[in-house]
Amino acid sequence: MARNNYNPVPHDHEAFLERALERKGFREAYADLENEYRLVRELLAARLDAGLTQEQVAVCMGTTKSAVSRLEAAGKHSPSVATLSKYAKAVGCEVEIKLVPKTRKKGRSRARQPLCAE
């Protein structure tokens, strides 16, 4: 089997984000895409921890490198649970999905109140 010579470029995401948040309009735009960026960070971290390239993940998933690249790009693609499951399996992980109640202000009741109540 060929040796994996993948060597990613170092990137300090926290430092980048700190600088970017100072730019006009960036904070709002980033907040709108927060879940997408969080998913992308999870995908990239899992693939890098597994020591795999996009090509190797694509082979495991039965797809193309460009499809994996689109999956790892924030804001451009909304993957299905089935696709996320294939990706997770390829990188030695499982998908965990949960809905978390929004934080309530102090003194409010514990009952959940939907945003679109009739």
Q: Where are the domains of the chain?
A: 13-89
19-42 pLDDT, tens digit per residue, is 999 999 998 888 888 888 889 999
Burial tier of 69 (Cβ tally within 10 Å: 0-12, 13-18, 19+): middle
CATH number of the structural domain 13-89: 1.10.260.40
Angle in degrees, CA 89, 4, 69, rounded to 5: 55
36-94 pLDDT, tens digit per residue, is 888 999 999 999 999 999 999 999 999 999 999 999 987 667 899 999 999 999 999 99
Give CA–CA dist 85/81, Å, rounded.
6
